[in-house]
A and B are shown apart, each in its own frame.
Chain A
Amino acid sequence: MAPRTSAKICGMGHSMKRKEDPRFLQGKGNFIDDHTLPGMLWLDIVRSPIAYGKIVNIDSSKALEIDGVLAVLTGKDLEAYGLHWMPTLMSDTQMVLPIDTVMYQAQEVAGVIATSRYAAADGVAAVEVEYDPMTPVMDPFRALDDDAPVLRVDKEGQTDNRIWHWEAGDKEATDKIFDEADVVVREKMHVPRIHVASIETCGCLADFNPVEGHLTVYMTTQAPHVIRTVLALVAGHVGLSEEKIRVISPDIGGGFGGKVPVYPGYVIAIAASVVLGKPVKWIEDRMENLQADSFARDYHMDAELAADANGKIKALRIKTLADHGYADAQAAPSKWPAGLFSICTGSYDMENAYAEVDAVYTNKPPGGVAYRCSFRVTEAVHCLERIVDTLAHKVGKDPATLREENFIPKEAFPYHSPLGWEYDSGDYQAAMDMAKEMIGYDDLRKEQAEKRERGELMGIGVCSFTEVLGAGPSKDFDILGIKMFDSAEVRVHPTGKAIARFGTKSQGQGHETTYAQIIAEELGLPAAHVQVEEGDTDTAPYGLGTYASRSTPTAGAAGAMAARMIRDKARKIAAHLLEVSEEDLDWEPGTFSVKGAPDKSKTIQECAFAAYTNLPPGMEPGMEATNYYDPPNLTFPFGTYICVVDIDRGTGEVKVRRFVAVDDCGNIINPMIVQGQIHGGLTQGLGPALYEEMTYDEDGNNMAGSFMDYLVPTAVETPAWETGHTITPSPHHPLGAKGVGESATVGAPPAIVNAVVDALAHLGVTHMEIPMRPDRVWEILREKGVAG
């Protein structure tokens, strides 16, 4: 689609170079650890070496003898302020610091406050904690046994380790379809616990002013406004009041959902600043980060598809066990404990479906952050896209063909899914056609057949996903009761330059550029003249933050609506200046001109100047607008990914030879940035498919607690991603956009697994668990007698 605006204005469709880049490229970014304040102290945290046990004693005396160590805060200290427990965003509770029991390895046990980074670390090493270990519950299935110890004895009425049961769909009708189906296929699969592993860890700098009772917190948060409200709600009793709390989210070195929740470290730093009346900084090190927070996934799924003999899908049935660890601390909307898992019917038209999820506590750290995923969409898509391949194999059809025969046809949109969603728009066949063409699908199948003859293992994997994102319509979506709208405030200065502030917070997505382009598109001001700000609760309008691919669907829409309000005012001013009626004006981006007399015109800049200098009689001065946007529906981006792998029979290593990703995210604001989002998302899909997994031994020891053992893809393993786009606008979004940040993380893993299974299908393999590490693949090669 050709851009509507000139390269000078740089509205939607231009690959504008990013406005934020120069500071990052010259070492002038402003990340959390770059902040210092006069008199600043350091917090470091004593963590539990065991997964489950009683605290017998905490002896801080040796730590307090160390030069520079000022205080050691324990749960009992926080108890005096009523701050030793905190709510999670899912209305569960978790300890800030424990009084008598630790529930997971690396749990925060005490906070050491010192005058330097090094003294604080010395203090941590010197705090002596005596534990009485107990046998942890690490297996979520074991957690459901009748004789399993009840872990959350702190919760009144809790008699087992169940957290909640959730279900969607018509069980009876679905079961009936299964009973009568020609073909039923079933796979059990685990989407394991993984970690966001943003290169910047979490941290904060809490600065409490005891004279004014004012708290400023610089914090790695994707949702600063919500965090401020939560702080006011949980710490109101110690005098923190919302108008006296300022949360500033500075440049963030990657978030991916891991910087949505409130972690104990933040609260300990704030408590320490309140107690000591000095600024206190807390910065996690990498091992703390990998062992204590920012965990995602961990769904054990048992999935079945019913179909007719031709492979026409009739129904889907999924039973799931969700391992949340010690607390339900995920950051999902209140009414959606299993997130948007009910998108699990995906891109296929079927009569019915039923999905259920049971959540349990174990002695793992709290998990379930929506890691680059609109609340459990990753798990849902993995499940469906895997079992669709199993069905194709069972009925003897090419997996691409079987998908095409089951796609929701484009005429069927808006489409009502069996589990209650109204898909806004889609053309799944178009994305499939482009992906097949780009990768040369038919030729690859021929090549595969030839290689199979020679004993070489090559596979082709397909995934045709549908996402659901942009939460949300506020009637259905809230976080702790706060409706999931988002906001923009746009102000045009007299000289025709503008500032635009948003309730979201970029963590690398490029909002300073794309939001400016949205304003440019609507107002015709050059995007270069639009300054974008986010992340400061004292200045930005209230919003729910950036996660779940919601920024463009919500705050981006708010920006467009606010700009349109300003344009409407500018039209009145232009009519006044040109002495014509509003109806007699044409609008081209940046200019109002008189119909039939195009040389009689006023630019948006001239209108802005007049808004402060030469107003029509009775008009309110100034040129600004605020919009709180409550979307009428979610958006449903989609795409088809095709992956080609070669498997080394000697080592079991899977090499991704090619990967074509065709995405449809509706209208595109900045093609360069969209492509970058896809590249990054694909790489964060490659990691879990092949390398990344957070495992624990039976004693609860984290087995992947550093980058030595938690393997994120490097430039060597990562293929040269190939991308393409179809464009099916969202009918309800003001810009026709849908959001794109997470599609690739969702769609990539099943494409890669399907390719590996496809390479081994002739040996009778129908499923592979992730990550498909070389040892795991090689073991199957050995079993099948093909290991080299």
Chain B
Amino acid sequence: MARHQVTVTVNGEAHSREVDSRLLLVHLIRDELALTGTHIGCDTTHCGACTVLIDGVPTKSCTVLAVQADGADIGTVEGLAGADGMTALQEGFQQEHGLQCGFCTPGMLMTGTALLLSNPNPSEAEIRGAISGNLCRCTGYVNIVKAVEYAAAKMGEDN
């Protein structure tokens, strides 16, 4: 099988790896770069547990080849919290009880992060629409919606 040199920037850090043509991006992230916060839930782009940001766009990394991401700037859940602690959205998830088992949570956070960047004050319907490609079996979504609203409100205050 052909091997390819792939360079990606993940959470601001550049990584270069030689990979098989068929290696999925999610496996590059999890198995090669040991960033296991990104999860695999379905293999068919339905559940969204593997959502990462590729050049700022929420993307399901279980159906992207690593070679397709060559040169990309990738954001994963590990890159959200910084020196100041968790982001407003992460904080919102804890304050509003937006997670239970925590397995879908990284994908929800990445989708929510992208939503708030493009739409700082989303309506409930807009939030529900944005996360409709991220399945959660524990929370019933109500508190995930509230978590995004919490973050929008907090980010609005800060600005």
The residues of A with any CB-CB pair to B shorter than 8 Å are 17-18, 20-29, 31, 33-34, 117-118, 196-201, 251-256, 285-287, 507-510, 672-673, 675-676, 679-684, 706-708, 712, 714-716, 718, 720-721
- B19 to nearest A CB, angstroms? 11
Q: Which of A28, A197, A680, A716 contacts B139 (CB 8 A)?
A: A680
- A253 — which chain B residues lie within 8 A by C-beta? 39, 41, 101-104
Tell me whether B141 and A683 are in contact (CB under 8 A). yes
**Cβ-defined contact, A199 with B86, below 8 A:** no
Bound form: Cα–Cα A18–B100 in Å: 9
Complex interface bits, B109-146 against A, C-beta within 8 A gives 1, otherwise 0: 10000000000000010011101111111111111110
**Contact A27 B77, beta carbon cutoff 8 Å:** yes
B103 proximity list for chain A (CB < 8 A): 29, 31, 198-200, 253-254
Question: Can you name the residue of chain B whose Cβ is closest to the Cβ of A25?
Answer: B90
Would you give the 0/1 interface string for B74-117, flagging 1 where the beta carbon is closer than 8 Å to chain A? 00111011000010001001110101111111100100000000
Contacting residue for B43 out of A34, A200, A285, A675, CB 8 A: A285
- How far, in angstroms, from A17 to B141 measured CA to CA in the complex? 18
Residues on B with beta carbons closer than 8 Å to the beta carbon of A285: 43
* Nearest CB on B from A684, distance (A): 7
B90 CB to nearest chain A CB (Å): 4
Cα–Cα distance between A28 and B90 once the two chains are bound (Å): 13
Q: Which residues of A contact B76 (CB under 8 A)?
A: 27
| A26 touches which of B40, B47, B78, B142 (Cβ 8 Å) | B78
Q: Are A706 and B141 in contact (CB under 8 A)?
A: no
Interface of chain B, main secondary structure = loop
When distances are taken between beta carbons in the complex, the residues of chain A under 8 Å from B133 are 714
Given the contacts A17-B94, A118-B20, A25 and B137 also touching, CB distance less than 8 Å: no
Q: Which residues of A contact B94 (CB under 8 A)?
A: 17-18, 21-22, 25
Does B159 lie at the interface of the complex (its beta carbon under 8 Å from any beta carbon of A)?
no
B68 CB, nearest partner CB in chain A, Å: 17
Q: B residues touching A (Cβ–Cβ < 8 Å)?
A: 20, 22-23, 27, 30-31, 35-44, 46-47, 49, 76-78, 80-81, 86, 90, 93-95, 97, 99-106, 109, 124, 127-129, 131-145
Query: Are B31 and A29 neighbours in the complex by a CB distance under 8 Å?
Result: no
CB distance from B84 to the nearest CB of A (A): 13
- Given contacts A286-B44, A720-B142, is CB(A24)–CB(B99) below 8 Å? yes
Contact between A508 and B80, CB atoms less than 8 A apart: no
Docked CA distance A118–B3 (Å): 14
Nearest 5 pairs of A and B residues by beta carbon: A27-B37, A24-B102, A253-B103, A508-B101, A679-B140
Tell me, in angstroms, the Cα distance from A494 to B61 when the chains sit together.
48
Residue of B nearest to A34 (CB): B36
Known: A21-B99, A720-B142. A707 touches B78 (CB 8 A): no
On chain B, the residues within 8 Å of A27 by CB distance are: 35-38, 76-78, 106
Task: List 10 extra interface pairs beyond A27-B37, A707-B44, CB under 8 A.
Answer: A17-B95, A25-B94, A27-B77, A31-B103, A117-B31, A254-B103, A675-B97, A716-B128, A716-B129, A721-B140
A256→B99 contact, CB < 8 A: no
Residues of B near A199 (CB, < 8 A) are 39, 41-42, 47, 49, 101, 103-104, 135-137
A193 CB, nearest partner CB in chain B, Å: 17
Chain B residues within 8 Å of A21, by CB:
93-94, 99, 102
Name which residue of chain B comes closest to A710, CB basis.
Answer: B46
Check B27–A117 contact: CB distance below 8 A.
Answer: yes
Most chain A C-beta atoms within 10 Å of own C-beta, residue among B22, B103, B104: B103
29 chain-A/chain-B pairs, Cβ below 8 angstroms: A17-B97, A21-B99, A22-B94, A25-B80, A25-B109, A26-B80, A27-B37, A31-B103, A34-B30, A118-B22, A199-B137, A200-B103, A253-B39, A286-B42, A508-B100, A676-B97, A676-B100, A679-B139, A679-B142, A680-B137, A681-B140, A683-B140, A706-B46, A707-B42, A707-B135, A712-B135, A714-B132, A715-B136, A720-B124
CB-based nearest B residue for A30: B36
Say whether B95 contacts A680, CB under 8 Å: no
Contacts of A255 in B (CB 8 A): 101
- B102 in contact with A508 (CB, 8 Å): yes
In the complex where A25-B99, A715-B145 touch, is A198 in contact with B137 (Cβ < 8 A)? Answer: yes
| Bound Cα distance from A712 to B135, whole angstroms | 8
User: CB distance A26 to B97 under 8 Å?
Assistant: no
Residue in B closest to A718 when the chains form the complex, CB atoms: B141
- The distance from the CB of A246 to the nearest CB of chain B, in whole angstroms, is 22
The residue from A18, A31, A198, A201 contacting B97, defined by CB atoms under 8 A apart: A18
Return the contact of A673 from the options B97, B101, B131, B145 (Cβ within 8 A). B97
Question: Cβ of B128: which chain A residues have Cβ within 8 Å of it?
Answer: 715-716
A58 vs chain B, min Cβ distance (A): 26
Q: A27-B38, A199-B136, A716-B129 are in contact. Are A721 and B93 (CB under 8 A)?
A: no
Of A27, A28, A712, most B-chain CB atoms within 10 Å:
A27
Complex: A202 Cα to B43 Cα, angstroms: 14
Q: Is A254 a contact partner of B99 (Cβ separation < 8 A)?
A: no
Report how far A716 CA is from B20 CA in the complex, Å: 38
Q: Which of B35, B44, B141 has the most CB of A within 10 A?
A: B141
Contacts of A18 in B (CB 8 A): 94, 97
**Which residues of chain B are within 8 angstroms of A24 by Cβ–Cβ distance?**
99, 102, 105
In the bound complex, what is the Cα–Cα distance between A285 and B24 (angstroms)? 14
Closest to B94 in A: A21
Inter-chain CA distance A199–B100, complex, in Å, is 12
> Which chain B positions have C-beta within 8 A of A676?
97, 100, 138-140, 143
